[in-house]
Protein backbone atom coordinates (compact mmCIF):
# COMPACT_ATOMS: atom_id res chain seq x y z
CA UNK A 1 0.00 0.00 0.00
CA UNK A 2 1.55 3.34 -1.03
CA UNK A 3 1.64 6.47 1.12
CA UNK A 4 -1.32 8.06 -0.69
CA UNK A 5 -3.53 5.06 0.00
CA UNK A 6 -2.49 5.02 3.66
CA UNK A 7 -3.21 8.74 4.01
CA UNK A 8 -6.61 8.28 2.41
CA UNK A 9 -7.36 5.38 4.74
CA UNK A 10 -6.43 7.44 7.80
CA UNK A 11 -8.58 10.34 6.60
CA UNK A 12 -11.58 8.07 6.07
CA UNK A 13 -11.07 6.45 9.49
CA UNK A 14 -10.89 9.87 11.18
CA UNK A 15 -14.02 11.02 9.34
CA UNK A 16 -15.96 7.90 10.32
CA UNK A 17 -14.91 8.23 13.98
CA UNK A 18 -15.87 11.92 14.00
CA UNK A 19 -19.25 11.11 12.48
CA UNK A 20 -19.92 8.43 15.10
CA UNK A 21 -18.82 10.69 17.99
CA UNK A 22 -20.84 13.68 16.86
CA UNK A 23 -23.87 11.53 16.06
CA UNK A 24 -23.82 10.17 19.61
CA UNK A 25 -23.04 13.56 21.13
CA UNK A 26 -25.43 15.77 19.16
CA UNK A 27 -27.97 13.32 17.78
CA UNK A 28 -28.45 11.26 20.94
CA UNK A 29 -26.88 13.06 23.90
CA UNK A 30 -28.07 16.59 23.13
CA UNK A 31 -31.57 15.40 22.20
CA UNK A 32 -31.79 13.37 25.39
CA UNK A 33 -30.68 16.28 27.58
CA UNK A 34 -33.11 18.72 25.97
CA UNK A 35 -35.95 16.20 26.28
CA UNK A 36 -35.13 15.57 29.94
CA UNK A 37 -34.96 19.28 30.75
CA UNK A 38 -38.27 19.87 28.95
CA UNK A 39 -40.00 17.06 30.83
CA UNK A 40 -38.69 18.26 34.19
CA UNK A 41 -39.03 22.03 33.76
CA UNK A 42 -42.02 22.43 31.40
CA UNK A 43 -43.80 19.08 31.05
CA UNK A 44 -47.09 20.48 29.72
CA UNK A 45 -45.64 22.51 26.81
CA UNK A 46 -43.09 19.76 26.10
CA UNK A 47 -45.94 17.29 25.58
CA UNK A 48 -47.99 19.52 23.30
CA UNK A 49 -49.98 21.65 25.78
CA UNK A 50 -52.76 19.08 25.74
CA UNK A 51 -56.17 20.00 27.15
CA UNK A 52 -58.43 17.44 28.82
CA UNK A 53 -62.11 17.35 29.66
CA UNK A 54 -63.56 16.60 33.10
CA UNK A 55 -63.25 12.86 32.37
CA UNK A 56 -59.51 13.23 31.76
CA UNK A 57 -59.78 12.60 28.03
CA UNK A 58 -57.51 14.57 25.70
CA UNK A 59 -59.74 16.78 23.56
CA UNK A 60 -57.13 18.89 21.84
CA UNK A 61 -54.18 21.19 22.33
CA UNK A 62 -54.13 24.72 23.67
CA UNK A 63 -51.82 25.54 20.74
CA UNK A 64 -54.04 24.34 17.88
CA UNK A 65 -57.49 25.63 17.01
CA UNK A 66 -60.54 23.55 16.28
CA UNK A 67 -63.75 23.96 14.31
CA UNK A 68 -66.91 24.05 16.40
CA UNK A 69 -69.37 23.29 13.63
CA UNK A 70 -71.78 20.52 12.65
CA UNK A 71 -71.30 18.05 9.81
CA UNK A 72 -72.56 20.63 7.32
CA UNK A 73 -70.14 23.29 8.53
CA UNK A 74 -72.77 25.33 10.36
CA UNK A 75 -71.68 26.99 13.60
CA UNK A 76 -72.80 25.20 16.75
CA UNK A 77 -74.67 27.91 18.68
CA UNK A 78 -73.51 26.73 22.12
CA UNK A 79 -69.85 27.26 21.27
CA UNK A 80 -67.65 30.25 20.59
CA UNK A 81 -66.47 30.11 17.01
CA UNK A 82 -62.82 30.12 15.98
CA UNK A 83 -61.34 32.26 13.25
CA UNK A 84 -61.31 30.73 9.76
CA UNK A 85 -58.53 28.28 8.89
CA UNK A 86 -56.83 27.78 5.52
CA UNK A 87 -54.90 24.72 6.74
CA UNK A 88 -56.23 21.74 4.77
CA UNK A 89 -59.87 21.15 5.66
CA UNK A 90 -59.38 23.37 8.70
CA UNK A 91 -56.80 23.29 11.52
CA UNK A 92 -54.90 20.46 9.83
CA UNK A 93 -51.49 20.30 11.49
CA UNK A 94 -50.13 18.44 8.48
CA UNK A 95 -51.09 21.27 6.11
CA UNK A 96 -50.32 24.37 8.15
CA UNK A 97 -50.50 27.49 5.99
CA UNK A 98 -52.38 30.66 5.27
CA UNK A 99 -54.35 31.24 2.10
CA UNK A 100 -51.40 33.10 0.49
CA UNK A 101 -53.95 35.37 -1.21
CA UNK A 102 -53.17 39.08 -1.41
CA UNK A 103 -55.51 41.71 0.06
CA UNK A 104 -56.80 42.64 -3.40
CA UNK A 105 -57.43 39.08 -4.55
CA UNK A 106 -61.04 38.95 -5.73
CA UNK A 107 -61.66 35.49 -4.25
CA UNK A 108 -60.40 36.61 -0.84
CA UNK A 109 -62.37 39.85 -0.95
CA UNK A 110 -65.54 37.92 -1.82
CA UNK A 111 -64.92 35.33 0.92
CA UNK A 112 -64.39 38.06 3.51
CA UNK A 113 -67.59 39.84 2.50
CA UNK A 114 -69.55 36.57 2.67
CA UNK A 115 -68.15 35.67 6.08
CA UNK A 116 -68.79 39.14 7.46
CA UNK A 117 -72.42 39.07 6.38
CA UNK A 118 -72.94 35.57 7.79
CA UNK A 119 -71.33 36.40 11.14
CA UNK A 120 -73.25 39.66 11.48
CA UNK A 121 -76.51 37.80 10.87
CA UNK A 122 -75.59 34.98 13.25
CA UNK A 123 -74.56 37.27 16.09
CA UNK A 124 -77.20 39.95 15.53
CA UNK A 125 -74.69 42.78 15.09
CA UNK A 126 -73.95 45.22 12.27
CA UNK A 127 -71.25 44.18 9.82
CA UNK A 128 -69.11 47.06 11.08
CA UNK A 129 -68.90 45.28 14.47
CA UNK A 130 -67.35 42.13 12.96
CA UNK A 131 -63.57 42.26 13.61
CA UNK A 132 -60.94 41.29 11.05
CA UNK A 133 -59.89 38.07 12.78
CA UNK A 134 -63.45 36.74 12.45
CA UNK A 135 -63.21 36.73 8.68
CA UNK A 136 -59.52 36.07 7.95
CA UNK A 137 -57.30 33.06 8.61
CA UNK A 138 -54.06 33.25 10.55
CA UNK A 139 -50.73 32.72 8.79
CA UNK A 140 -50.45 29.17 10.17
CA UNK A 141 -54.12 28.27 9.87
CA UNK A 142 -53.79 26.71 13.33
CA UNK A 143 -54.18 29.70 15.68
CA UNK A 144 -56.57 28.79 18.55
CA UNK A 145 -57.05 32.44 19.53
CA UNK A 146 -59.55 35.11 18.64
CA UNK A 147 -59.66 38.75 19.65
CA UNK A 148 -61.68 39.88 22.68
CA UNK A 149 -63.80 41.87 20.22
CA UNK A 150 -64.81 38.72 18.34
CA UNK A 151 -65.47 36.87 21.59
CA UNK A 152 -67.60 39.76 22.84
CA UNK A 153 -70.07 39.70 19.95
CA UNK A 154 -70.60 35.94 20.50
CA UNK A 155 -71.43 36.11 24.22
CA UNK A 156 -75.18 36.67 23.91
CA UNK A 157 -75.64 33.79 21.45
CA UNK A 158 -73.65 31.32 23.55
CA UNK A 159 -75.40 32.36 26.77
CA UNK A 160 -78.83 31.94 25.17
CA UNK A 161 -77.95 28.56 23.63
CA UNK A 162 -76.73 27.23 26.98
CA UNK A 163 -79.30 28.89 29.20
CA UNK A 164 -76.56 30.67 31.14
CA UNK A 165 -76.49 34.25 32.45
CA UNK A 166 -74.69 36.60 30.08
CA UNK A 167 -72.58 37.79 33.02
CA UNK A 168 -71.35 34.24 33.65
CA UNK A 169 -70.28 33.80 30.03
CA UNK A 170 -68.56 37.18 30.05
CA UNK A 171 -66.72 36.15 33.21
CA UNK A 172 -65.40 33.03 31.47
CA UNK A 173 -64.29 35.08 28.48
CA UNK A 174 -62.39 37.43 30.80
CA UNK A 175 -60.75 34.47 32.56
CA UNK A 176 -59.54 33.09 29.23
CA UNK A 177 -58.30 36.40 27.87
CA UNK A 178 -54.53 36.62 27.69
CA UNK A 179 -52.61 39.89 27.51
CA UNK A 180 -49.95 40.67 24.88
CA UNK A 181 -46.87 38.43 24.88
CA UNK A 182 -44.20 39.86 27.20
CA UNK A 183 -46.67 42.61 27.98
CA UNK A 184 -46.24 44.46 24.68
CA UNK A 185 -46.08 42.05 21.71
CA UNK A 186 -49.38 41.83 19.83
CA UNK A 187 -52.81 42.35 21.34
CA UNK A 188 -54.96 40.53 23.86
CA UNK A 189 -56.35 37.16 22.77
CA UNK A 190 -58.94 34.60 23.85
CA UNK A 191 -58.15 30.89 23.57
CA UNK A 192 -61.31 29.43 22.01
CA UNK A 193 -60.43 25.78 22.70
CA UNK A 194 -59.92 26.38 26.42
CA UNK A 195 -62.92 28.71 26.65
CA UNK A 196 -65.29 26.19 25.08
CA UNK A 197 -63.92 23.44 27.32
CA UNK A 198 -64.62 25.63 30.35
CA UNK A 199 -68.17 26.19 29.07
CA UNK A 200 -68.70 22.46 28.79
CA UNK A 201 -67.54 22.16 32.38
CA UNK A 202 -70.38 24.46 33.43
CA UNK A 203 -72.99 22.40 31.62
CA UNK A 204 -75.93 24.07 29.97
- Backbone phi and psi for residue 5, each to the nearest 5 degrees, phi listed first: -65, -40
The answer on pLDDT for 6 being more than 60 is yes
Region of 182 on the Ramachandran plot (φ > 0 left; ψ -120 to 50 alpha; else beta): left
Q: Span 56-75, mean pLDDT?
A: 84
The answer on pLDDT for 38 being more than 90 is no
DSSP for 148-184, please give it: HHHHHTTHHHHHHHHT--HHHHHHHHHHTEE--BTTT
Within 10 A of 78 (CB to CB), how many other CB atoms are there? 18
Beta pairing class for 58-61 and 145-146: unpaired
Each residue of 118-139: pLDDT tens digit?
999 999 999 999 999 999 988 8
Each residue of 79-119: pLDDT tens digit?
999 999 888 888 888 878 777 888 888 989 999 999 999 99
Alpha carbon distances (Å) from 198 to 25, 155, 203: 44, 14, 9
The answer on pLDDT for 41 being more than 80 is no
**40 confidence band (pLDDT: 50, 70, 90):** low
Q: What is the predicted pLDDT for the residue at 26?
A: 83
**31 confidence band (pLDDT: 50, 70, 90):** confident
Contact residues for 181 (Cβ-Cβ < 8 A; gap 6+): none
Nearest in space to 66 (alpha carbons), one of 177, 164, 195, 154: 195
Contact 130, 153 (CB under 8 A): yes
pTM above 0.85, yes or no: no
d(Cα 199, Cα 204) in Å, to the nearest integer?
Answer: 8
Amino acid sequence: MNSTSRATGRTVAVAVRAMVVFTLLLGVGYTGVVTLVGQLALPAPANGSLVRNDAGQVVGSALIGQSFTDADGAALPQYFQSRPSAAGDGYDGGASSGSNLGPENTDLVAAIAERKAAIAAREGVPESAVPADAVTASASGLDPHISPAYASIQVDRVAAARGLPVSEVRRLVAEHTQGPDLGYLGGSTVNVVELNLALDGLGG
